[in-house]
Amino acid sequence: MKKQVIDAKKIVSDIRAGMNDAELMKRYGLSAKGLESAFNKLINARIMAVEEIYGHPSRTGQDSVIIVDDLRQLPRHYLSVAVTVYDPHNPDQAGELRDITEKGIGITGIQARIGEIKTLVLDSRNFLDVGAIWFDAECIWMQPGTTPGEWQGGFQIKKIDPQDLKRLRELIGLFSLK
């Protein structure tokens, strides 16, 4: 069984640019089954939504795909407005969103231990009619902020409901600087 290594950022860009299945298979040297495997890995890693990858035919073939998934390669969006983030289990833990991707967020004001998983809520009610965005995220880095007692950290999104992911994408689109 041949394993094909594909850069996630490149294939996501090609899919979003409108390449059809045949073009993707040719560009990445994949069978139909290999392309389906790539699509599933992108969806399972929450890099792309099911809605973005639709209409591809039933596939056959014997290869499998490894998606190179480097979080730092995903485009980071710095917000042009203040968005409150809080821990619903600890009301004293509230902060502000610094930056955001579909896979992670940067926060000022919430302290956590590296490896700790927190339920976090983005209070998007002032920006989206649909309400707050809930998800579970793992702290991947934490450091003191510029103000004494303030903390800055990065959190990787581990679990998010599809509707909340849709709202997260809307928030990114509404208030991010390009």
Q: Which one-letter amino acid corresponds to residue 92?
A: D
Q: What are phi and psi of 16, to 5 degrees?
A: -70, -25
pLDDT in tens, 8-17: 888 888 888 8
Percent of residues, the chain, with pLDDT higher than 90: 18
Measuring CA to CA, which residue among 42, 44, 47 is closest to residue 28?
Answer: 42
**Run of H or E including 30:** none
- Domains of the chain listed by start with CATH number: 3-69 (no CATH), 77-177 (2.40.10.220)
Q: Which pLDDT value is given to residue 167? A: 85
Mean pLDDT of 64-92: 62
Q: Please, which pLDDT band fits residue 77 given cuts at 50, 70 and 90?
A: very low
The model's pTM is: 0.54
* More confident position, 57 or 121: 121
Q: Please, which pLDDT band fits residue 137 given cuts at 50, 70 and 90?
A: very high
In whole angstroms, what is the distance from residue 71 CA to residue 27 CA? 23
In whole angstroms, what is the distance from residue 152 CA to residue 171 CA? 21
Pairing verdict, β 64-68 and 3-7 = parallel
Mean pLDDT of 47-68: 51
- Enumerate residues 6+ apart whose C-beta is below 8 A from 19: 27
